[in-house]
Amino acid sequence: MSKKIFSGVQPTGNLHLGNYLGAIKNFVDLQKDKDNSCIYCVVDLHAITVKQDPKILKKNIRETTASFLASGLNSSKSIIFNQSKVPSHAEGSWLLSCVARMGWLNRMTQFKEKAGHDKEKASVGLYIYPVLMAADILLYDATHVPVGEDQKQHLELTRDIAQKFNTDFNCSDFLKIPEPLIQKDFSRIMSLRDGTKKMSKSDPSDQSRINITDTKDQIVNKIRKAKTDSKPLSENVSDLEGRPELKNLLGIFSSLQNQDLDVSTKEFAGKNFSELKEKLAEVLVEKIHPISNEINKLLKDYKYIDKILLEGSIKAEKISKKKVSEIKTKIGF
Ligand code: TYM
């Protein structure tokens, strides 16, 4: 069955292994199927829900685009663009925010985590962030959305918004109800310093994550220092419960090798952590280092990157403008 794919990544600093294995690697796999039409967005409007330095934001938009291309996305097969270039996203977001309910947004765990203790000081944008995400997806009639586990709740909200719009305006099937595509075993890559915490750009310790632009030495060092426990490696996947660091390292290894977690678990059964770490560092360098080399090459020619974004935004604008216009007609404008 042909799929309409839409996904986005925020341009907020270096992408890390969680972004790569949880999302971008899947974007590339989906692009390989000729029946799919794929749209991948650098979601810069989402990035400004927290304060950004304008010069750094501009650099990060190009860097995230370069990471897409270096990982294997191809602008002749997929539409690649940045959200702020396509005004329909902001317009669609307003229209849908009048359908979304406060009670739904109040349940969003990511807002609670990001806003921290002092919710009063969080931007209104951070609060309504999931509505913009719903607009991103619904304006392109996306049927499938590849994301990491942490975005599952936002996808459920998107589905609720679409369903309510269709009911309120008596137009069943007008806004398409999208399905999340979440990688089974590797949907949540965890911190290298604490296997119970998500690998994240906002963790103050750089040792907690592998950045897609890390050097070989940095990768080897971070894996060497990654937290472990003191037991030999488990024999079975079921024994990984309660051993979050081991599960994470084996998960990363499996995802990079495109093999099931139980195959990797058997491969290292009874061995020491040092053997797993050595092999994992080797595979990481082999897979990640060419991407970081390519990013550096691409960043030397930012005009090329800007051209890709401009061409992508023209295509995206054409599709989303039509949908916004249809939404407005349904509403009565
Ligand atoms: P963002 O920019 O935080 O993350 C981009 C993608 O990376 C995934 N991810 C992870 N996956 C596994 N393990 C991790 N530790 C990890 N950290 C991040 C995220 O799940 C995501 O898929 N709101 C979204 C961006 C967005 C979007 C959209 C996504 C805006 N509009 C429309 C899909 C469709 C976000 O902030 O992702």
pLDDT at residue 1 tops 80: no
Confidence label for 10 from pLDDT (cuts 50, 70 and 90): very high
Which is nearest to 250 in space by CA: 87, 181, 158, 237? 237
State residue 94's pLDDT score.
98
pLDDT at residue 287 tops 80: yes
pLDDT at residue 30 tops 90: yes
- 108-142 pLDDT, tens digit per residue, is 999 999 998 889 999 999 999 999 999 999 999 99
191 located within any domain: no
pLDDT at residue 149 tops 90: yes
Q: How far is the CA of 316 from the centre of ligand 1 (A)?
A: 20
Pairing of strands 78-82, 4-9: unpaired
27 shares its domain with 122: yes
State residue 324's pLDDT score.
98
State residue 186's pLDDT score.
74
Concerning whether 307 is annotated as a catalytic residue, the answer is no
Q: How far is the CA of 131 from the centre of ligand 1 (A)?
A: 15
- 223-246 pLDDT, tens digit per residue, is 999 999 999 999 899 999 999 999
Concerning whether 247 is annotated as a catalytic residue, the answer is no
What atom in ligand 1 is closest to the CA of residue 10? 2
Q: Using CA atoms, how far apart are residues 82 and 80, in angstroms rounded to an integer? A: 7
User: What letter does residue 20 receive in the DSSP assignment?
Assistant: I
Q: Using CA atoms, how far apart are residues 264 and 256, in angstroms rounded to an integer? A: 11
- Number of domains comprising the chain: 2
256 shares its domain with 317: no
Q: Which residues contact 68 (CB under 8 A, 6 or more apart)?
A: 9, 24, 27, 40, 42, 80
User: 274: domain CATH number?
Assistant: 1.10.240.10
State residue 315's pLDDT score.
98
Please tell me if the CB atom of residue 203 comes closer than 6 angstroms to any atom of ligand 1: no
State residue 276's pLDDT score.
97
- 201-215 pLDDT, tens digit per residue, is 989 999 999 999 999
182 shares its domain with 224: no
User: What letter does residue 16 receive in the DSSP assignment?
Assistant: B
Please tell me if the CB atom of residue 135 comes closer than 6 angstroms to any atom of ligand 1: no
Domain enclosing residue 230, as ranges? 206-297
Q: Which residues contact 92 (CB under 8 A, 6 or more apart)?
A: 135, 138, 139, 320, 323, 324, 327
Q: Using CA atoms, how far apart are residues 312 and 108, in angstroms rounded to an integer? A: 31
Which is nearest to 199 in space by CA: 5, 9, 18? 18
51 shares its domain with 174: yes
17 shares its domain with 163: yes
Q: Which residues contact 76 (CB under 8 A, 6 or more apart)?
A: none
Please tell me if the CB atom of residue 18 comes closer than 6 angstroms to any atom of ligand 1: yes
Ligand 1 atom 6, closest CA: 19
Average pLDDT over residues 23-44: 97
State residue 95's pLDDT score.
98
Concerning whether 164 is annotated as a catalytic residue, the answer is no
- 152-171 pLDDT, tens digit per residue, is 999 999 999 999 999 999 99
Average pLDDT over residues 247-276: 95
pLDDT at residue 185 tops 90: no
User: Over the chain, what is the mean pLDDT?
Assistant: 96
41 shares its domain with 123: yes
pLDDT at residue 263 tops 80: yes
Contact 93, 131 (CB under 8 A): yes
- Which single residue is written with the structure tokens 């909200």? 157
195 located within any domain: no
Tokens of 122: 């969080």
| Overall residue count recorded for the chain in this entry | 333
